[in-house]
């Protein structure tokens, strides 16, 4: 019988591992990144969330991510209260070097979200 996987690490290909690791560390409240030549990593100080690993690769980002992170800042909120919480977090992340892409307003099925990019252009969502 195979053992069940209990931990997951999310790996980012990037040009500047330390820069991207610092950004995500601030976004998520993770530990100060550890780094060596060609890589950096940060982890949830409570040990609950996945470790994030950033590795230097020679090629740049070309197309939209196939996998992205959802940063859940307004889980229980709806309507104008939700949008206000999303906008406040978006402003904080833009100050850290992130880029706002667009607000997708609520519809009949989904609540509002903000699509963003990190310091190297990787897409993520504020939800």
Supply 89's token pair: 């977090």
Which pLDDT score, from 0 to 100, does residue 64 have? 86
Which pLDDT score, from 0 to 100, does residue 60 have? 86
Which pLDDT score, from 0 to 100, does residue 1 have? 65
Q: What is the pLDDT of residues 4-48, one digit of tens each?
A: 767 889 999 999 999 999 999 999 999 998 999 999 999 999 999
Q: Residue 3 pLDDT more than 80?
A: no
Gyration radius of the chain over CA positions: 16
Angle at CA 120, nearest 5°, toward 115 and 122?
A: 35
Which pLDDT score, from 0 to 100, does residue 5 have? 67
Distance CA 91, CA 100 (A): 9
Q: What is the pLDDT of residues 41-72, one digit of tens each?
A: 999 999 999 999 999 999 988 888 888 999 99
- Tokens 């990787």 belong to which residue? 122
């Amino acid at each position: 019988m195979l053992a069940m996987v209990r931990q997951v690490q999310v790996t980012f290909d990037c040009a500047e591992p330390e820069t991207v690791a610092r950004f995500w560390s601030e976004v998520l409240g993770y530990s100060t990144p550890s780094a060596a030549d060609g890589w950096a990593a940060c982890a949830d100080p409570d040990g609950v969330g996945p470790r994030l690993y950033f590795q230097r690769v020679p090629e740049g980002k070309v197309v939209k991510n196939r996998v992205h992170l959802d940063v859940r800042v307004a889980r229980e909120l709806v309507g104008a209260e939700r949008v206000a919480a999303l906008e406040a977090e978006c402003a904080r992340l833009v100050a850290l070097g992130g880029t706002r892409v667009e607000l997708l307003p609520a519809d009949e099925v989904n609540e509002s979200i903000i699509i963003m990019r990190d310091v190297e252009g990787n897409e993520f969502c504020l939800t």
